Homo-oligomer: A and B are copies of this chain.
Amino acid sequence: MRARVLEEATRLFAAQGYDGTPLQQIAEAVGVRKPSLLYHFPSKDALRQAVLDALLSRWADVLPRLLMAAGQGDQIFEGMVREAVGFFTADPNRARLLVRELLDHPQEMKVRLLTQLRPWIEVIARYLRRGQEMGVVRAELDPEAYLVVVANLLVTGIASTELLGVLVASEPDPERQVRELVRVAHDALFVSKEIVPGRAARAGVPPTAVAKPAGRAPARRGGARAARHGR
């Protein structure tokens, strides 16, 4: 029952916001009376925090697993992006809820980010710097700032995919938008070799390090697949 409440509260908070969602409405969605909610959660604010905890605790599992699994440093990008895209496209409410919390409770989120996300950023930033030394990652890239930009890009980009679709084409295609999202993150990260004609590509860059995406057929880079692997 507690799980049901969290589920409906997540959906409604994401769609209408905390202030825009009365307990009454959550109770109706769950199928109980309002005071029953306050038996499981001492207050509406406690419910909000429980919803947020449930959302962020999933990342606490996913992040370490990702960093362990990626043996080679250059596979981290694909793994992390695929996981993030999959997580948020499976239920865009997750992304919307995060954005709302960032706006509505900046101080509380600042503490959460600092303790739960900052350590991982430092770890991944070290990988990026190693990539820079190897000439695989763009030298002018600012590791920590890049990671924050991309995290923000993925979360807000997916949160508003449905809405912003009308700007891209008459018949919105979420996959197309997510694909471009991932491409932007990718091309801003790796040193690219696309325009180099022929053998110049071999100059100074270890051929195995950058991995496949650069020279291959464009527009099939994980967004599509990840969007399908669902929840």
Contact = CB atoms under 8 A, between A and B. Distances in A.
A205 B118 CA distance: 41
A103 to B, nearest CB: 6
A191 B20 CA distance: 46
Nearest to A199: B200
Contacts of A45: none
B180 A135 contact: no
B140 A218 contact: yes
Contacts of A66: none
A153 interface: yes
Contact of A152 (B20, B104, B157, B166): B157
A10 interface: no
Contact of A194 (B146, B160, B188, B191): B191
A197 B200 contact: yes
A196 interface: yes
A32 interface: no
Given A20-B104, A187-B188, A148 B177 contact: yes
- Closest 7 pairs (CB-CB, A-B): A140-B218, A145-B180, A19-B19, A156-B156, A200-B200, A184-B188, A19-B20
Given A144-B167, A145-B176, A200-B203, 12 more contacts: A16-B104, A121-B167, A140-B183, A141-B180, A142-B183, A148-B164, A152-B156, A153-B153, A184-B184, A185-B188, A191-B195, A193-B195
